[in-house]
């Protein structure tokens, strides 16, 4: 791990430790801890999406489906079969990874627009499935009373404990992902992003690496889904619709899609915007989202993470 990554990691851990201390003592923003848990959950998905988009150069407009598959598998196994939540989480990852593999192998042979539409279509199909299989999923009204998580008898049904759990997993995933980026797979992926033809010509097994990353990102999303289920305790299809898939891509792009730290930044910013600060605009938040995304793509294509380096470049250029 290079120095920049190590410094950022230390900075992030520092922030994560201070955050609850600062927030919980101020009444008005005490619930920010709850928002931060959602930031963590979405960060898990978006780190995978960042690997896929920023490093492998492939888009997915269907990641809400993998998130939902993890969530529903956990929810159904825990309530209907009374399985242990941790076992259910594991089962969710297995099922989601399998489906991602089945969908990924033919989908990732497609390029650009076709891939985007294929993943979009897949996402909508899974969403319809959640809505229609009433016996299994509870249909549009969903189902509730999903038990919380416990570790060795300790009930995590408490914002602070859950915050620690979620963000520990985020940190582990982050370190793992940074290692993936700096591994042989990571180098192969970057060569894919620049030119798939050149990479293939150099002997990189392009399709295999693309599928590996796609399945890995689906597994991240599935874990996030399980964490979501046990935290919220309630599931309905509307939490996993097409707009969520688009919002996830948006978080990655707004933060900076060529950089996993950008994905974290974008997730943090847009989740706080969506859950907290956009309430001012309640009914036209979509409008604001669209405007933000458009502005970023047009004027800051490398995302917010590029803001300060870009300023510095401009400054030095003068």
Partner 1 sequence: MEKISLTGQLIQYIFTGITVGSIYAMVALGFNIIYNVTEIINFAQGEFVMLGGLIMVFFSAFLKLPLPLAFLLTVAVVTGVGALMERFTINPLKNATVLTMIIVTIAVSILLKGIAMFVWGKDPYIIPPFSGSEPIVILGAAIQTQTLWVLLMTAVVVVLLSLFFKKTRYGKAMLACADDPDAARLVGIKVNTMVLISFALSAAIGAVAGAIITPISLMEYDRGALLGLKGFGASVLGGLGSFYGAVVAGILLGIIESLCAGLISSGYKDAVALLLLLLVLYVRPSGLFGNVEAGKIKEF
- Contacting residues toward partner 1, per CB under 8 A: 53, 57, 59, 61, 106-107, 110-114, 116-118, 120-122, 124-125, 128-129, 131-132, 242, 246, 249, 253, 257, 283-291, 293-294, 297-298, 301
Instruction: Name the minimum Å distance from CB 227 to partner 1.
Output: 27
Instruction: Name the minimum Å distance from CB 211 to partner 1.
Output: 14
- Whichever of 299 and 315 has its CB closer to partner 1, that residue is 299
Instruction: Name the minimum Å distance from CB 70 to partner 1.
Output: 21
End-to-end CA distance of the chain: 33
Q: Which residues pair with 235 in a beta bridge?
A: 143
**CA–CA distance, 207 with 172 (Å, rounded to integer):** 27
Instruction: Name the minimum Å distance from CB 288 to partner 1.
Output: 7
- Whichever of 108 and 223 has its CB closer to partner 1, that residue is 108
**CA–CA distance, 250 with 163 (Å, rounded to integer):** 24
Residues 59 and 116: beta-carbon distance below 8 Å: yes
Q: CA 145, 93, 107: angle at the middle one, nearest 5?
A: 120
Instruction: Name the minimum Å distance from CB 180 to partner 1.
Output: 20
Residues 104 and 208: beta-carbon distance below 8 Å: no
- Whichever of 108 and 221 has its CB closer to partner 1, that residue is 108
Residues 53 and 249: beta-carbon distance below 8 Å: yes
Residues 256 and 304: beta-carbon distance below 8 Å: yes
- Whichever of 109 and 184 has its CB closer to partner 1, that residue is 109
- Whichever of 171 and 300 has its CB closer to partner 1, that residue is 300
- Whichever of 40 and 266 has its CB closer to partner 1, that residue is 266
Residues 232 and 29: beta-carbon distance below 8 Å: no
Instruction: Name the minimum Å distance from CB 223 to partner 1.
Output: 26
Three-state secondary-structure class, residue 183 = coil
């Amino acid at each position: 791990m290079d120095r920049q990554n190590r410094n950022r990691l230390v900075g992030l851990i520092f922030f994560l430790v201070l955050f609850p201390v600062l927030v919980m003592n101020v009444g008005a923003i005490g619930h920010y801890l709850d928002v931060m848990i959602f930031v963590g959950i979405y960060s898990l998905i978006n780190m995978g999406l960042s690997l896929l988009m920023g490093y492998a150069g492939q888009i997915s407009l269907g990641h809400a489906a993998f998130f939902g598959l993890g969530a529903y598998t956990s929810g159904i196994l825990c309530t209907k079969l009374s399985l242990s939540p941790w076992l259910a989480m594991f089962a969710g990852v297995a099922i989601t990874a399998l489906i991602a593999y089945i969908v990924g192998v033919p989908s990732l042979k497609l390029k650009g627009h076709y891939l985007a539409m294929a993943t979009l279509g897949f996402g909508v199909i899974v969403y319809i499935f959640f809505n229609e299989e009433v016996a299994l999923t509870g249909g549009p009204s969903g189902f509730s009373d999903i038990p919380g998580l416990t570790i060795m008898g300790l009930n995590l049904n408490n914002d602070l404990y859950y915050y620690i759990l979620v963000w520990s997993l985020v940190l582990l995933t982050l370190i793992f992902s940074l290692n993936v980026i700096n591994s042989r797979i990571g180098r192969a992926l970057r060569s894919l992003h620049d030119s798939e033809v050149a990479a293939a010509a150099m002997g990189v097994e392009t399709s295999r690496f693309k599928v590996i990353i796609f399945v890995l990102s689906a597994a991240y999303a599935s874990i996030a889904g399980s964490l979501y289920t046990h935290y919220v305790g309630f599931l309905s299809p509307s939490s996993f619709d097409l707009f969520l898939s688009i919002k996830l891509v948006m978080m990655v792009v707004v933060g900076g899609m060529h950089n996993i730290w950008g994905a974290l930044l974008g997730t943090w910013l847009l989740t706080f915007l969506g859950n907290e600060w956009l309430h001012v605009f309640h009914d036209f938040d979509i409008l604001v989202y669209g405007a933000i995304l458009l502005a970023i793509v047009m004027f800051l294509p490398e995302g917010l993470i590029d803001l300060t380096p870009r300023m510095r470049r401009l400054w030095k250029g003068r």
